[in-house]
Amino acid sequence: MAEMIQMDEKTWRVEDGFVRFFILAGKERAAMIDSGFACPNAKAIAEELTGLPVILLNTHGDGDHTSGTGAFAEIHMSRADYECCGIAEKYPGTKLCAVGDGVKVSLGERTLEIIDIPGHTKGSIAILDVERRMLYAGDSVQTGTIFMFGASRTKEQYPLSLEKLVGLSDRYDSVVASHSEPVLQKEQVSKVLAAWKQVQRGEVPFETVNMHGTEVKQYQTADCGFYC
């Protein structure tokens, strides 16, 4: 069963097993960032908690972030992930409200800004909680092991996206991750970038593991890991 943890007076994280999603309330409406792995009632949880109409914002389209999507009439996410992750087929009747770099979503006295960060998936986005200076980075920045294999990944764009986040680091104080530790110092972005570059240069040993029927290379550094 999902566990709800309050982060501040208008922000909650919902621990849904190995993944988490988030509920952010403004004055006029609330946003749910992702909807978990095994939480089809995520929307009802958010509505009961906030007493506000709730919109769904997805950092990306992997299945462990979309379990509650079917309860929404529309989903705010990148067009690239809506298409490459088959959201329309998985959740028929849920329409795309495409968002991309620089788009601002107002919740009423709380602004969320979209930042394109392709790499972990073709259409991964980060969501900046502008006034609270919190960056919701999905799976792209974390202390756990980051999936970088499969058709939806774009390895060549990943370091460019991390460099972009480093360049914006004066706008946020911490990073909120969907896996492993929930709240990270903003320096973790640079650490993940350095670790990825080490992997790409062949400086990190690996072991071969089976992930969902696919043989992949698992790399582990002091700061994070990668499945490639």
10 Å CB burial of residue 114 (0-12, 13-18, 19+) is buried
Single pTM value for the model: 0.96
For residue 21, the one-letter residue type is F
10 Å CB burial of residue 58 (0-12, 13-18, 19+) is buried
Q: How far apart are CA 199 and CA 100, in angstroms?
A: 29
Q: How far apart are CA 149 and CA 221, in angstroms?
A: 18
Can you give the length of the chain in residues?
228
Place of tokens 């329409």: 95
Pairing of strands 30-33, 54-57: parallel
Both structure tokens of 56: 């769904």
196 sits in which H/E element: helix 188-200
Report residue 1's pLDDT band, with 50, 70 and 90 as the boundaries: low
Q: Is the dihedral of CA 132, 121, 12, 188 positive or negative?
A: negative
Tens of pLDDT, residues 19-72: 999 999 999 999 999 999 999 999 999 999 999 999 999 999 999 999 999 999
What pLDDT does 90 receive? Answer: 94
Per DSSP, the residues of 98-158 read E--TT-EEE-SS-EEEEEE-TTSSTT-EEEEETTTTEEE-TTSS-SSEEE--STT--TTTH
What pLDDT does 189 receive? Answer: 98
Residue 127: closest CA among 70, 165, 154: 165
What pLDDT does 212 receive? Answer: 85
Radius of gyration of the chain (CA): 17
188 sits in which H/E element: helix 188-200
Tens of pLDDT, residues 94-134: 999 999 999 999 999 999 999 999 999 999 999 999 999 99
pLDDT above 90 (res 215): yes
